[in-house]
Structure 1
Amino acid sequence: MICRLGGGGQGEYVPCRELLETRSKRDSPFPWCASTLRVFSETSSNSMNQEAVPKPICQAAYNNDFSEVQLLLDKNSNYLNIQDNFGGDTPLICACKQGNNKIASYLLKKNADVNLRNKKHRTCLHYAVRKRFTFLDYVLIIILMPVLLIGYLLMISKTKQNENLVKMLLRAGADVNATDFSGSTALHYACEMRNQAVIPLLLEAHADVSVKNQNGETPLDIARRLQFSNIESMLQKTS
């Protein structure tokens, strides 16, 4: 940063650091410089700290803290569609990122906006189709698979939950053809994640199979590249 010495459009530019060093001198021509810069620095620091802290209701929705989400909305209904300063996520987006169906259902009943986008231009539907299993889910499935098919039943249960989440969002009017920063739709991500359970739901909601992302790929192109033959067949029937 530089400051200008002199007035009336004349004078020379010097680093503000030099002016800060003169703050203890009585004859400093800029007694305001140090204090002004200090206030500016503190204000910028506070602003950055505030932006880095997620909104409490977004954090609660992400953590699946249903009672906290209810409490915060009861206090202030404007929190329903509030967007986090850090990533632009809404409480609904946070819930969908984690597959927290109960919270997502509650927010939708409160008329949460399903088409708000975060800073990556993604809606809650983009995240819902990408969310199938957490790392812990995979671990449990692997461990429990040999035990009375418990692992298989867990996998079916999680898949059904994801399917129900996508159904809820589509019924609430989610834009099935919304594109994010990469030009990808929910169908692109469903194909990429091999999420066969939700692809028929997206197609029934009139997902456009011809949309190309920034890589020039349609959902069908992705299915072919990844050699997902079942998904490829589903998309070919539509197109």
Structure 2
Amino acid sequence: MGLVYSEPSCQAAYEGDVHQLYHLLSKDPTQLNVQEEHNGDTPLIAACRHGKLRVVQYLLENRADVQLTNKLQKRRQQEALMKEVLSSNVNIDAVDYKGNTALHYICQRKSHRLVPLLLEKNADTNIQNNDGETPLDIAKRLKFTKIVKMLKKAH
């Protein structure tokens, strides 16, 4: 299903609906840079989040504010939560039904701030998931060079 936004222009951008965006912005131009109350996403961020290139181009052509950011506090909370979990005796290398560890998921999500936290706790970088990929393989495939460097250094 994906994300559900309370701001119609964010939802239209996320869904890739340029026609709906045009209609919304024609009625209310302030919707171009409206920010979602919960996470601070703008229509531009919502479109980027879901990879909607056509919508991104449309928003940029209409001078969407590229300087607006969503609520970075969420990142800080995630880092604090991760530190708290890692301070317990959690199995850092536990795998799910796909064979993924926390390190696999963090690499997939390009969470370069969280990778060092797992590496400090000696997360196993060599575990292969059900697709035969290690966290390093995932980072290489997705071309996350900063994460690739961190994982290679940990080897």
CA–CA distance in 2 between the matches of 1:216 and 1:188?
12
Alignment TM-score, normalising by the size of structure 2: 0.58
From 92, 106, 111, the equivalent of 1:190 is: 106
C-alpha spacing 1:141/1:222, structure 2 compared with 1 (3 Å):
same
TM-score, reference length from structure 1: 0.39
Q: Give the number of equivalent residue pairs.
A: 102
- Which of 91, 115, 121 is the matching residue for 1:175? 91
What code does the residue aligned with 2:41 have? Answer: V
Aligned equivalent of 1:215 = 131
Question: Does the C-alpha gap of structure 1 residues 227 and 167 become closer, same or farther in structure 2, counting only changes over 3 Å?
Answer: same
Superposition deviation, residue 151 in structure 1: 2.6
Identity fraction in percent: 39
Asked whether the 8 Å contact 1:142–1:151 carries over to 2, the reply is: no
- Counterpart CA distance in 2 for 1:175 and 1:135 is 36
Aligned partner of 2:69 among 141, 144, 151? 151
* Residue 141 (structure 1) shift: 8.9
Higher RCO (CA < 8 A, seq sep 6+): 2
Amino acid paired to 1:225: R
Aligned-partner Cα distance in 2 for 1:150–1:139: 9
Find out whether 1:228 has 2:144 as its counterpart.
Answer: yes
| Partner of residue 54, structure 2 | none
Structure 1 stretches of 5 or more lacking a match?
Answer: 1-133
2:106/2:114 contact within 8 Å kept: yes
Following superposition, the deviation at residue 174 of structure 1 comes to: 1.5
CA RMSD of aligned residues (A): 2.7
In the alignment, residue 224 of structure 1 is paired with which amino acid? K
Query: Between Structure 1 and Structure 2, whose CA radius of gyration is higher?
Result: 1
Letter in 2 for 1:151: T
3-state SS in 1 of match to 2:69:
helix
User: Judging changes above 3 Å, is the alpha-carbon distance between structure 1 residues 142 and 170 closer, same or farther for their aligned structure 2 residues?
Assistant: same
Q: Does the CA contact (< 8 Å) of 1:141 and 1:151 recur in 2?
A: no
Q: In the alignment, residue 190 of structure 1 is paired with which amino acid?
A: I
Q: Runs of 5+ in structure 2 lacking a partner?
A: 1-35, 46-63
